[in-house]
Structure 1
Amino acid sequence: MLEHGIQAYVDEVNSTLSKIAAPNSAAGHREFRESLMEFFPTRFPAGMTIRNRFIEAPGRQIGIRIYRPAGWQEGGGAALFFHGGGFVSGSVFTHDIYAAGIAETAGVQVISINYRLAPENPYPAAFDDCYFTLEWLAQNGAVMGIDPERMVIGGDSAGGNLAAACALKARDKDGPTVRLQYLIFPCLDTDFNLHSYLENKNDPFLKRSQMMGFWKDYLSGRYDLDDYYALPLRCPDYSRLPAAYIVTADHDPLMDEGEIYARKLEAAGVSVQYRCVEGAMHGFLRARFTSKLAAAELEQLGRTIREAVMR
């Protein structure tokens, strides 16, 4: 059973969905996600400033959105945020509620990345955009008013995958310093027969069948990949990775892989905080204004990010 505040949010969303055509393609899913935000505009806290800009990358521009909370000062750390959406949808706009909420509760600058989407841009396009942005910020921190030695990276769902992959590559390539990887109900592998996938196959915001389609688009159907930047649960060595904060939900089909990842990191000597939130489902942090449970979890996430950045 969902916590009552989360259930209230689900009921409100379901009522709204009747006004929007159901998507039947990746492009349709994008339009669906963007349209939904017109009914649920983000409430930005007083004093927060938001700025959009582009980073020049080889053959492309990467859009970013910068959130600076009231009282923000130059020279501090920053949290990178990679949005969810099954690799095929989502944007800095659809995930304002996450990035702004993290900036507010952590009291740090948050930089959200508008990476390329599948199926038009399958793996590794999104990953390349996210890692390029991480490297760019490490090299150009002064431009953004941040200390590049005090960065954390994270995201929700597909964004959690991209954050875990960036942490792995930064370790492998002696890349940028990452103080924390915060993974919010991340998707990390393609084992659709895990218990949570079968038990929670009809999660209100993420169906098992949807996730299968998202992975197909992202990986171009190549489920047998041994590339752990695409599928972080297939990495053979988790040592020397940054500390992790991993949040899952007991009604989420992705619950098991988040827990498995936490245990693998712990076994490799990585410091891990793992939280499985009871009475919650995929995307539950969006209910922060109707659910005390969701609000408390966001506050806890913010505190953890602030501690990592400030230490």
Structure 2
Amino acid sequence: GVGLVLAERDESHQVKFQFQMIPMVTERFMKDDPKPPKSKIEKASTGFHQGIADLLRNGGASLEDHWIWPNLAPDSLVKKAPPAVIYTCEYDMYKEGSDDAAALYERNGKLIEYGVQAGCHHGHYFQFSKASTPATFNAFANVFRLHLCRSTKENASAKVFTGPAFKCKGKMDDDLVDDIEQELAMMNETTREMMTHDFVVDTMRPAVSATQDQYEAPEYAEYLDGCNVETVEGFGGPAYHERAITQTCYIHKAKGSTGIKPCVVYYHGGGGWGGDAREYFPLVNRMAMEADVTIISCNYGLAPERPAPLGILDAYACLKDVLKNHAKYGIDPSRTCIAGESGGGYITAGVGLVLAERDESHQVKFQFQMIPMVTERFMKDDPKPPKSKIEKASTGFHQGIADLLRNGGASLEDHWIWPNLAPDSLVKKAPPAVIYTCEYDMYKEGSDDAAALYERNGKLIEYGVQAGCHHGHYFQFSKASTPATFNAFANVFRLHLC
């Protein structure tokens, strides 16, 4: 209830999270035939809880009011509530109601974690002599250490990609089906031979830029206006790597955010041949706002004008500029990571390998490869199984990208083209990695390979696959799956950076 008051008053930012422990939040008891399943203890306590509702109401609020049963709160309010950790017990009279609460907060991108302790009942841990009690208090302590203190060793083993949103279901979300069909059609029409310099400059880059038109929709307004964004010219360049050139970068800080902040050095997507950091403002702002971090979004040289590894070296030089001039940018260099999506995931992985080559991986806390373009699978007629429908369709497109990245230079079997080809000896020295992809992403199989590569070398922090979604679905803020995506991104930064 306090969480809902905070939501009503736009004050949820004043607490880090809410912890609902064996919570009495469900309206199930008010119905003769509540949602299944109906447990034995839930059935037995129906009259008791109907009486509680009468006491809480006392002739005032409706029995269908969320001030009586918080699970009845509308999505519009829960979206604004503090993020929630929910704990219950397998034989708790509120178990089914806690399931509903977890679904409510998950649906609105506000569930941090939901835990059900096995074999226990409501309030069992009040009896300190019981065998189950130490595990309960250990879990409670870890919730506070992990989500409140954020400085303990437990952070290293904590998981972000949990819950229904990250359990693949073999079915695409209904509101994304049309999108994937359009993506398949475009990929099927794009051949390797089409991906020339002129085609990229005259057709592909303008098409990427045109996606900004969607930002005029009302769901983007809050995020377009939610950050102070500073433009910095002449970023990076040969002062930090002899083959790099200077770039324009943007410093995103949530309005009202003060003090020295953790920093995400972010690389935009676009396949290594397109895109501009300016085209990603709503996404970057949303991440900065939800995680309360400073994000420095960096441009880098695009292929074929800047073939591999030059774009990567431009991005590396930008990172080095951030680290050297951290006081000027108001960030904490000891809490800095690199991140990027799609082609920016390729750049992120590449920068990680440059850091590994130079024995500088300790200078960042981790790398976050988001729906990353890192796989050589597209270069083979018969790549590693399984080969998904979207991976098959995009083969020619990605062979063309490889040609652009190479531009007569690096081998098509080079890890500066496809970072998954990096040798174990180099990956062992790279920054630890968080990797995120989607169940129907064209890079899903390549992300599986990347996760295996980093896992094999002791460098994988966590790998998450969002269920029912495709590549870049979260660019559309109106989609039902988008809040869970940004909640996961924010939790990656809160957990592993902050």
**TM category, shorter:** 0.7 to 0.9
Aligned equivalents of 1:151, 1:210: Cα separation in 2: 34
The aligned residue for residue 183 of structure 1 is: 369
Aligned equivalents of 1:306, 1:187: Cα separation in 2: 25
Matched positions, count? 299
Match of 1:38 among 213, 233, 239: 213
Amino acid of the structure 2 residue aligned with 1:211:
H
Deviation at 1:241, TM superposition (A): 3.1
Deviation at 1:10, TM superposition (A): 6.5
Deviation at 1:180, TM superposition (A): 1.8
1:69-84 superposed matches below 5 A: 69-84=254-269
The aligned residue for residue 293 of structure 1 is: 481
Aligned equivalents of 2:305, 2:247: Cα separation in 1: 16
Deviation at 1:13, TM superposition (A): 10
The aligned residue for residue 219 of structure 1 is: 406
1:50-129 superposed matches below 5 A: 50-54=229-233, 55=235, 57-58=237-238, 60-129=245-314
Aligned to 2:469, what secondary structure does the other structure show?
A: coil
Aligned equivalents of 1:13, 1:185: Cα separation in 2: 15
Match of 2:420 among 225, 233, 242: 233
5+ residue gaps in structure 2? 1-170, 185-194, 239-243
Alignment pair present for 1:26 and 2:200:
yes
Alignment pair present for 1:2 and 2:176:
no
Aligned equivalents of 2:401, 2:422: Cα separation in 1: 21
Aligned residues of 1:149 and 1:177 also touching (Cα < 8 A): yes
The aligned residue for residue 19 of structure 1 is: none
Aligned equivalents of 1:240, 1:290: Cα separation in 2: 40
Aligned to 1:118, what secondary structure does the other structure show?
A: coil
Aligned equivalents of 2:252, 2:312: Cα separation in 1: 22
Question: When you count helix as a share of all residues, which structure comes out higher?
Answer: 2
Aligned equivalents of 1:8, 1:104: Cα separation in 2: 30
Deviations 1:274-293 (A, max 9, x none): 11222111111212x22232
After TM superposition, the score normalised by the length of structure 1 is 0.86
1:143-158 superposed matches below 5 A: 143-158=328-343
Amino acid of the structure 2 residue aligned with 1:179:
K
The aligned residue for residue 469 of structure 2 is: 280
Aligned residues of 2:236 and 2:319 also touching (Cα < 8 A): no
Aligned residues of 1:86 and 1:215 also touching (Cα < 8 A): no
Alignment pair present for 1:209 and 2:396:
yes
The aligned residue for residue 316 of structure 2 is: 131
* Mean Cα deviation higher: 192-201 or 256-265: 192-201
1:159-170 superposed matches below 5 A: 159-170=344-355
Amino acid of the structure 1 residue aligned with 2:443:
L
If asked which structure has higher relative contact order (CA below 8 Å, sep 6+), I would say 1
Aligned equivalents of 1:298, 1:195: Cα separation in 2: 30
The aligned residue for residue 256 of structure 1 is: 445
Deviation at 1:118, TM superposition (A): 1.1
Amino acid of the structure 2 residue aligned with 1:64:
C
Deviation at 1:71, TM superposition (A): 3.6
Aligned residues of 1:245 and 1:272 also touching (Cα < 8 A): yes
Aligned residues of 2:405 and 2:417 also touching (Cα < 8 A): no
The structure whose Rg is larger is 2
Match of 2:496 among 302, 308, 311: 308
Match of 1:199 among 389, 392, 398: 389
Amino acid of the structure 1 residue aligned with 2:303:
A
Give the percent of matched residue pairs that are identical in Structure 1 and Structure 2. 22
After TM superposition, the score normalised by the length of structure 2 is 0.55
Aligned equivalents of 1:302, 1:43: Cα separation in 2: 19
Aligned equivalents of 1:256, 1:223: Cα separation in 2: 24
Aligned to 1:93, what secondary structure does the other structure show?
A: helix
The CA RMSD over aligned residues, in Å, is 2.7
Residues 226, 37 of structure 1: alpha-carbon distance in 2 compared, 3 angstrom cutoff: same
Deviations 1:50-79 (A, max 9, x none): 121111523843010111113422322100
Aligned residues of 1:169 and 1:229 also touching (Cα < 8 A): no
Deviations 1:286-308 (A, max 9, x none): 12x22232220221111111222
Aligned to 2:364, what secondary structure does the other structure show?
A: coil
Aligned residues of 1:227 and 1:234 also touching (Cα < 8 A): yes
Deviation at 1:221, TM superposition (A): 5.5
Amino acid of the structure 1 residue aligned with 2:453:
K
